[in-house]
Structure 1
């Protein structure tokens, strides 16, 4: 299938209901592979490296690549990328699905010695790394801001706001979302993808490319559960408060606690669970622990 920028595609579905069967055209979440190829200069010599293959929803691919490279520590800022474009000399079915990224000379990370496999699929990213030792978060702990707290009512109001803006999910039921809000619940950026980690990479990359800070009294809402990698990406980006509709894993909670992040799960219109960083929730002690 040729590369597409659409989140959804039409497909024929046969629906069985009791004694009746009807066929109709339905919308499905688009899923295609994206390969990221790096070009980088080291000691005066240019090198090429196939870095990543991920199953993703087409669209916002430049954001996805930027966010992934940033969360993996391959780039430190958006200007570390000199050029991004789709490869032209590829097979017909690969058009729009192979992305070339040229980095600024002498990248900080030793890309020649990079021995991790970054093959991922749409439900997980960290499982693509070849060694348990690679599953680490080298990012520094998040800075504490005792004067910044989020009102619980603001957090609970987000449960209804997401569905208003999550267009792809509305039509397919098969897309995850990552959304950036300010402390008062105003949406600043949203990205959707069939993969949870891709949606977050797209959000981080989009914020970086559009010069929207994510580390200054901001929070990110995830539509699904929270794995270790989701916390790792958020910590690396400097996101102080991570909220999700689903549950966090034990390793995600451990990492969030270690890096001083506020992690919230099971968000609903009338409540939520705080796993770490309760000091960023306004009147937490007064309302909940008296």
Structure 2
């Protein structure tokens, strides 16, 4: 596995105090990861090294290319070599199980995929409305408002790389009582979601019924899409929700909560799953 962080030169200027400080700083590593399936490339994304198999599997699942972790027989790093001659581990090769083929081809894109990019450059919006196999709207889970309000702080306690760099997102999946089942970090918020879903999918079958996806960033379309495909009925975001995220959450029957911080919650869809707090 490559480095998660690295040290770089830095000059910090404090204009109010007229102070110039020159010393190394710790920043998050951003490197490309190519995912291949049976020798064919399906995506290349900029990510933070680490949990690459979770990322690869999570991407295949949330993009609707495979239905289960069992559809993937093996995953391995191809030992590609960087300019300095050292291995980079920036290619994951996945082999499908016997008799399994991809359910859909890789999404067509019109530009390279970056760490900030989930559905950026897609040929059409219809191409990314991947139909979930699960009836998320029928999930009977109920989550107390106090649980939702506490999830961002709980997530923050697991963000070790963020504490060192301030430069990565996090995604976690919790049960209805607020217990975090898994947390992953990455420079790309959609990568963090793929990592945490992929990690859980290696331990249990989808759907992830009765769970809550919490993200440290805004709730955009691709975050809600990935939750729907994984069968997650509740999404919590520290930041804002976009119009397409709200539309998709309403269509899929997902409870979408945004601006969840400082004891406040904004519910944009399916508020019936969250009982009103005591007066």
TM-score of the superposed pair, with normalisation by structure 2: 0.90
SS at match of 2:23: strand
Q: Does the 8 Å contact 1:32/1:57 carry over to 2?
A: yes
Aligned twin of 1:116: 108
1:253 maps onto 2:246 in alignment: yes
How far does the alpha carbon of each residue in 1:93-146 deviate from its partner, in whole angstroms, 9 at most, with x for none?
A: 5730011111123415254xx571384111112014233431323125414244
Pairwise CA distance, 1:35: 0.7
Is residue 144 of structure 2 the alignment partner of residue 144 of structure 1? no
User: Alignment partner of 1:165: what SS?
Assistant: coil
CA distance in 2, matches of 1:256, 1:132: 15
Q: What corresponds to 1:79 in structure 2?
A: 70
Q: Distance in 2 between matches of 1:82 and 1:214?
A: 20
1:165 alignment partner in structure 2: 158
Contact preservation (8 Å) 1:142, 1:259:
yes
1:250-289 mapped onto 2 (5 Å cutoff): 250-283=243-276
Decide whether aligned partners of structure 1 residues 189 and 110 sit closer, same or farther in structure 2, where only a CA change above 3 A counts: closer
Q: What stretches of structure 2 of length at least 5 have no aligned partner? A: none
Q: Report the CA distance between 1:226 and its aligned residue.
A: 1.1
Q: With structure 1 as the length reference, what TM-score do the two structures score?
A: 0.87
What is the rounded CA distance, in whole Å, between the counterparts of 1:57 and 1:64 in structure 2? 10
Preserved contact between residue 107 and residue 128 of structure 2 (Cα < 8 Å): no
Report the RMSD for the aligned CA atoms in angstroms. 2.0
Pairwise CA distance, 1:169: 0.8
Show structure 1 runs of 4+ deviating over 6 A. Answer: none
Q: Which moved more, 1:133-142 or 1:224-233?
A: 133-142
The answer on whether the counterparts of 1:86 and 1:95 sit within 8 Å (CA) in structure 2 is no
C-alpha contact (below 8 Å) 1:36/1:52 kept by paired residues: yes
